[in-house]
Amino acid sequence: MSKEQRRPPTLSMPQWKRREEMILFALSKSVPWLAFINLSFAVIIIFRNQLFSHFDAGLSLHGNIFQTINIMMFLTMLMSAVMAGAAVIASKNRSAWLSHILDISLLLISLIWSFCCYIFVTFWALPIAYPLAIILMLTALAGLYFYPRGLLLSVFPLWITVLAANITLYSEIYVRFFVIWVLFTLILIYGRQILQRWFNENWERHQDNLLLITRLETIANQDPLTETANRRAMEVHLNMAINRNVPFSLIMLDVDYFKRYNDHYGHQAGDECLVKMAKILKAAVRTPEDVVARYGGEEFLLLLPDASAKEAELVAERIHKLLMQEAIPHLQSDVSDIVTVSMGIASSGDDKSVAELISAADSALYRAKSQGRNRWCG
């Protein structure tokens, strides 16, 4: 018998079962980028006097406002790191408190920028204030369009602040600015709808891919004739059972004188016999967790999790009784006038490998044949 052990194929495509899993994965990729942008702007503002000579000297002083701005920027850097960490961890460990940390970080960073932009507009009338706010809102849109709660927490404080700062600066609603503010609001809304439509289409395509993968796996893991697991699938189950370190038993089963059956009744009748045999084996096992596989031409292998050798013998006895009841004619058999099987039983233990267990079951099957067939040996 072949000693080759096949490994299940690894898929590079993530297999999200729920939409929330896809959102968390997307957050783990986009939030660190958002954090980097916030951190970069914070660094620029902290080192403004080094980047732009005597920047503060050209601004009117209002108490400790410069120190307050610096503290806010250091806090932004800290919250950016927390936000990025929470998003990455949440993608691997779905926890409500991690989502809360992410949301709180997004809100705090937005509030900090809102405060700073308000100061930039109302106290210093800096021309960079509006572009800064717009960039921050657009980056939040690009990174969080699929996460409505986080997007609202990031954009809404800045969106309100821009209008409030302009009203404070001019002591009224400046009509031209208000028109621009409304247009920008429509840009945000429409842009989010377009991006969300793209995200939804990708989710639907992903679901279609998962369905296709499931169908392909069924084809790859199922014997088309008997509709039992095939050899590849059985070896995967065996490796999983070994890795889980739980006791189990194997029954290797061979139809007695099956070549004679084929020669006498024809290959179509032989196929029908194997189909009936598969149904009998499925009826004889104990639970849905028991695996029935067609391991060779007329050879089947049964994996019985949490089964001792004695329990495996009870399954073998049920197989024998069901075969007697089915009474498939086999006039060319030397042991009976109906189809019979020989079975070999092996149990896990003593750190046996998959190959060693299959070899033990095969040896037990050989002994059953040597002793006259139509029986089982352990």
Q: Which residues are catalytic?
A: 298
Residue 306's contacts (CB-CB under 8 Å, 6 or more residues apart) are 246, 247, 248
Q: How far apart, in whole angstroms, are the C-alpha atoms of residue 189 and residue 257?
A: 74
Q: How far apart, in whole angstroms, are the C-alpha atoms of residue 370 and residue 377?
A: 10
Beta partners for 303? 250, 291
Asked whether the beta carbons of 203 and 22 are under 8 A apart, the reply is: yes
3-state secondary structure of 248: strand
Structure token digits, residue 108: 């705090």
Phi, psi for residue 272 in degrees, rounded to 5: -65, -35
Asked whether the beta carbons of 122 and 169 are under 8 A apart, the reply is: yes
Phi, psi for residue 273 in degrees, rounded to 5: -65, -40
